[in-house]
Amino acid sequence: MKKLLLGNEAVARGAYEYGVTVATAYPGTPSTEITEYIAKYDNINVEWSPNEKVALEVGIGASIAGARTIVSMKHVGLNVAADPLMSISYPGVNAGLVVAVADDPGQHSSQNEQDTRYFGIAAKVPVVEPSDSEECKEFLGQALKISEEFDTPVILRLSTRVSHSQSIVEIKAKGEYHLKDYDQNPNKYIVAPAVAKKRRVVAEERLRKLEEFAEITDLNKVEYNNLNIGIITSGIAYQYSKEVMPNASYLKLGLSYPLPKNKITEFVNRCDKVYVVEELEPIFEEKIKSWGLKVIGKEIIPTIGELSPEIIRKAILNETLEGVEPDFSKKVPGRPPVLCPGCHHRGVFYILKKLGLHASGDIGCYTLAAFAPLNSMDTSICMGASVGMALGFEKARGKDFAKKSVAVLGDSTFIHSGITGLIDVVYNKGNTTVIILDNSITGMTGHQENPATGYTLKGEPTVAIDFEAIGRAVGIKRIRTIDAFDIENLEKIIKEETAAEEPSLIITKRPCMLLKRANMVKKSLKIDKDACKGCKACMKIGCPAIAFKNNKAEINSILCVGCDLCTKVCKFNAIGGE
């Protein structure tokens, strides 16, 4: 049977067909759907972990215990999981262990464009790279076999377009895979220096065997057609190149690390001119050129951003298709991303802006508060950094600055990597005020559960983390919890806590308006045109349901969710229900 599947859905299908019994992840676009689709298979033990490091550590444990395992994350998540990845490389695995990592060329939802292939090189682990949904499924199976045959974790490198595009997949029956015996072997799995030194030798020998494997595996395919142009490529760049130059010769690298030197050399020597078309960094190109082979790559292929057929056509053939290139001659109104109507975060940032506080922000929906009209976030670097950065500002500029600043992060982000920052504030005698925006869900990546929601990935009830208890446990004495839309009291609390001579924790609570189980949506509000004075106070909260026309505010009844926040900023009682 054949089905049309997303790349991420195909990875999940591969996990089912090829005997994965443990799947862990932290959600992050464009990888999130892998684990959500895996959760549909009852025979796989699947979880959202607090962060990517924990996810990989659980995966490593499951692999050593004998279970085929997949751990999924986005590219920046691999930064968080780098410690266990680098450390498990030398010991190796037991059952197959695949780390599925989705890169985000073009930075559609990410803070950088890093190339995951570098992690394969640094960790000395193989990298497998599919180019469509069928390969997503089959390459996962291949990766599990490579993992077990060569005693190594394997990275399955995806990208936004592979993860989120659909193509035909051959659906097969589930194979028979059994839990492997657990080998209790301290000389393999205890990476104390005396053991790790020996395992380093093993890792290098494994890499040499993988280089030999790269020459013979059908993951690396040669297509000889017109020898005037040869293309060395991988992943989605293969699909783009094939669309533009269907008659060219191709060396498609499904195993993108380590590279098959002999196969590449033969291909380059047989073709008149060879281009290396790879998305993001010139990893293939630099290695191939180091062998003394003549190829053309980033001289004409951009390093920044995702590729496209149009980019490749223009770079290699110096051609453009009429009507394909976008026409920027006409000005199109800007449509910046905004917080949803009724968003929990809006009232908090409205108050922060009103008070003129410096806000060390973080990664989440609330990052949008950095932009107009709220303009109330000053920094946002990586997951969990807000707390440590706020303390850093205090250390640099003094305790008086701490009274003019806060750290702001979400519930899931706090659990992911904010707790250690809070410990640092207490331990190193900071005065930082930390605000946890608890909207009862991991919102930005599409409403995934987290340890504070009280539900597992499978929707089963579980213990919900108590933020107040965590605060007390790490030594915070001043802890306040408040409704995020009670902005009068919220303003009072923020003033009190930032003025205090000790660190404090504020927890703002209100479920995400889109969270179905919270049932937060009410009837839309209306503007009393006679009472409205046109002061634009309601516009300052940045709600997309509110517009200004003919010197009066008006509310779009389709967008309005009746959250009532606007009624609390209008001094003329011009906003109300029916």
Rg (CA), the chain: 27
Tell me how far apart the alpha carbons of residues 206 and 152 are, in angstroms, rounded to a whole number.
8
Element holding 405 (H helix, E strand): strand 405-410
For residue 99, which phi and psi values (nearest 5 degrees)? -105, 105
Tell me how far apart the alpha carbons of residues 117 and 409 are, in angstroms, rounded to a whole number.
30
Cis? peptide before 91, omega within 30° of 0: no
Task: For tokens 């595996």, name the residue.
Answer: 217
Amino acid (1-letter code) at residue 36? E
pLDDT for res 324 = 58
Element holding 165 (H helix, E strand): none
Nearest of 524, 530, 529, 528 to residue 543 by alpha carbon: 524
Tell me how far apart the alpha carbons of residues 160 and 334 are, in angstroms, rounded to a whole number.
24
Cis? peptide before 30, omega within 30° of 0: yes
382 is known to lie in a ligand binding site: no
Tell me how far apart the alpha carbons of residues 464 and 290 are, in angstroms, rounded to a whole number.
54
Domains of the chain, each with CATH number or no CATH: 2-216 (3.40.50.970), 221-317 (3.40.50.920), 345-518 (3.40.50.970), 526-576 (3.30.70.20)
> Do residues 537 and 570 lie in contact, with contact meaning Cβ atoms separated by under 8 Å?
yes
Tell me how far apart the alpha carbons of residues 540 and 526 are, in angstroms, rounded to a whole number.
17
pLDDT for res 325 = 60
pLDDT for res 516 = 85
pLDDT for res 328 = 61
- The 8-class DSSP code of residue 455 comes to B
532 is known to lie in a ligand binding site: yes
> Over its length of 578 residues, how does the chain's per-residue pLDDT go in tens digits?
999 999 999 999 999 999 999 999 999 999 999 999 999 999 999 999 999 999 999 999 999 999 999 999 999 999 999 999 999 999 999 999 999 999 999 999 899 999 999 999 999 999 999 999 999 999 999 999 999 999 999 999 999 999 999 999 999 999 889 999 998 999 999 999 999 999 999 999 999 999 999 999 999 999 999 999 999 999 999 999 999 999 999 999 999 999 999 999 999 999 999 999 999 999 999 999 999 999 999 999 999 999 999 999 999 999 887 665 666 667 777 777 889 999 999 999 999 999 999 999 999 999 999 998 899 999 999 999 999 999 999 999 998 999 999 999 999 999 999 999 999 999 999 999 999 999 999 998 999 999 999 999 999 999 999 999 999 999 999 999 999 999 999 999 999 999 999 999 999 999 999 888 888 889 999 999 999 999 999 999 999 999 999 999 999 999 999 999 999 999 999 998 76
> Do residues 138 and 7 lie in contact, with contact meaning Cβ atoms separated by under 8 Å?
no
DSSP-H helix ranges across 124-163: 133-150, 160-163
Tell me how far apart the alpha carbons of residues 484 and 429 are, in angstroms, rounded to a whole number.
28
> Do residues 83 and 42 lie in contact, with contact meaning Cβ atoms separated by under 8 Å?
no
pLDDT for res 543 = 94
C-alpha torsion sign, points 529, 531, 536, 537: negative
543 is known to lie in a ligand binding site: yes
535 is known to lie in a ligand binding site: yes
563 is known to lie in a ligand binding site: yes
Nearest of 561, 523, 521 to residue 545 by alpha carbon: 561
Tell me how far apart the alpha carbons of residues 414 and 420 are, in angstroms, rounded to a whole number.
9
pLDDT for res 329 = 67
Task: For tokens 């991303």, name the residue.
Answer: 337
Tell me how far apart the alpha carbons of residues 391 and 477 are, in angstroms, rounded to a whole number.
17
271 is known to lie in a ligand binding site: no
512 is known to lie in a ligand binding site: no
> What is the Cα 33 distance to its own chain's centre?
11
Across 428-543, the runs of DSSP E, i.e. the strands, are 433-438, 478-483, 504-509, 526-527
136 is known to lie in a ligand binding site: no
pLDDT for res 333 = 76
